[in-house]
Amino acid sequence: MMQKYPIGIFDSGVGGLWVLKEIKKLLPCESINYFADSGNCPYGSKTKDEALSLAKKNIEFLLKLKCKLIVVACNTVTAVAIDNFRSKYKVPFIGMEPAIKPAAMQTTSKKIGILATENTFNGRLFKQSFEKYANGIDVFVQPGHGLVELVEQGRQNSKKAQSLLEEYLLPMMEKGVDTIVLGCTHYPFLKQIIKKVTKNTLTIIDPAHAVAAQTKRILLECDLISNAGNDPKFHFYTTGEKTIVEKFLSHEMDSPYRLEQIQV
Ligand code: DGL
């Protein structure tokens, strides 16, 4: 019975739609409720308590819709609060991993860069992964100030995005970085410009596929996976402008869906 219930996914905005795309590809029979808190975006510069209380509202909204599992498609919220959610709520939670491990495995120069929000860098998860996987690797961290806002405005291919990425990535490359981790779910939408700015010379690590694979593993383990007969439904909610989400969905969604603007 529970198998038919939807997966819930949320982010501070449209960034998690990139994760949704991977989940949908890997788990095509699953219904999904996606919550974009674009009205309160960005979370990366909020205090931990503010980000935590916004995230709890998002979770409680998704739980009212009977979501059987929740994907925190936001590195910032994962960094600030995933342990808190796992002890407070009964459903399984999947968080975003700071992908230092795959980056450390792929770099040949032994120098990697990480682009994320400040709250993500300050979190325990990042420090733990750093200690565990960055042995013998130089890690260059760079907060991506302003990038989330540009993606939220649909300006991911703008001149401004290009100049910010030049400012953030070129100094790392001068130091020998050959691999970059996209530590915020909004950043994969900047991949095209990142490739342009770096002349396609960096290996880009985007953890979305790994997160989708982990979602599938946990659904199987908890006997929550939808069977092939399920007719999946896709429902999107935003606290911001519908038009922005619509724009992303017109590129990313190949199935019928409903989109609503809400207040929580
Ligand atoms: N997509 C969020 C993340 O992965 C963006 C954070 C923000 O709202 O600043 O961290």
124 CA to middle of ligand 1, Å? Answer: 16
Which CATH architecture does the domain made up of 100-206 adopt?
Answer: 3-Layer(aba) Sandwich (3.40)
Q: Does ligand 1 lie within 6 Å of residue 12's CB atom?
A: yes
CA 102/CA 110 separation, integer angstroms: 12
43 CA to middle of ligand 1, Å? Answer: 6
For 89, phi and psi rounded to 5 degrees? -110, 155
Give nearest CA residue, ligand 1 atom 9: 44
DSSP for 183-195 reads -STTGGGGHHHHH
Residue 74 annotated among the catalytic residues of the structure: yes
CA 233/CA 256 separation, integer angstroms: 8
Which CATH architecture does the domain made up of 2-96+209-261 adopt?
Answer: 3-Layer(aba) Sandwich (3.40)
Q: Where are the domains of the chain?
A: 2-96+209-261, 100-206
Identify whether the C-beta of residue 32 lies closer than 8 Å to the C-beta of residue 235.
yes
Identify whether the C-beta of residue 28 lies closer than 8 Å to the C-beta of residue 229.
no
Q: Count Cβ neighbours within 10 Å for each residue of 201-210 and write b for 16 or more, e otherwise.
A: ebebbbbbeb
Q: What percentage of the chain has pLDDT greater than the value 70?
A: 100
Q: What is the mean pLDDT of residues 55-62?
A: 98
Q: Does ligand 1 lie within 6 Å of residue 186's CB atom?
A: yes
Res 125: pLDDT: 87
CA 264/CA 253 separation, integer angstroms: 25
Q: What percentage of the chain has pLDDT greater than the value 90?
A: 90
DSSP state of 5: S
- Here the tokens at position 109 are 């120069």
207 CA to middle of ligand 1, Å? Answer: 14
Question: Given this chain, do its domains 2-96+209-261 and 100-206 carry the same CATH topology?
Answer: yes
Res 98: pLDDT: 85
DSSP for 50-100 reads HHHHHHHHHHHHHHHTT-SEEEE--HHHHHHHHHHHHHH-SS-EE----TH
Q: 3-state SS of 114-152?
A: EEECHHHHHCHHHHHHHHHHCCCCEEEEEECCCHHHHHH
Q: Mutation test of ligand 1: which of 45, 185, 239 has the most ligand atoms closer than 8 Å to its C-beta? A: 185
Q: Does ligand 1 lie within 6 Å of residue 15's CB atom?
A: yes
Q: Does ligand 1 lie within 6 Å of residue 43's CB atom?
A: yes
Residue 29 annotated among the catalytic residues of the structure: no
CA 159/CA 171 separation, integer angstroms: 19
> Which carries the bigger pLDDT value, residue 94 or residue 80?
94
Judge if pTM exceeds 0.75: yes
The 10s digit of each residue's pLDDT in 188-246 is 999 999 999 999 999 999 999 999 999 999 999 999 999 888 899 999 999 999 999 99
CA 81/CA 99 separation, integer angstroms: 18
Residue 208, CB-side half-sphere exposure with 13 Å CA sphere: 23
Quote the Cα angle for 200-186-128, to 5°. 90
The 10s digit of each residue's pLDDT in 8-53 is 999 999 999 999 999 999 999 999 999 999 999 999 889 999 999 9
> Which carries the bigger pLDDT value, residue 251 or residue 219?
219
128 CA to middle of ligand 1, Å? Answer: 20
Q: Tell me if residue 175 falls in helix, strand or coil.
A: coil
Q: Is 110 left (phi over 0), alpha (psi -120 to 50) or beta?
A: left
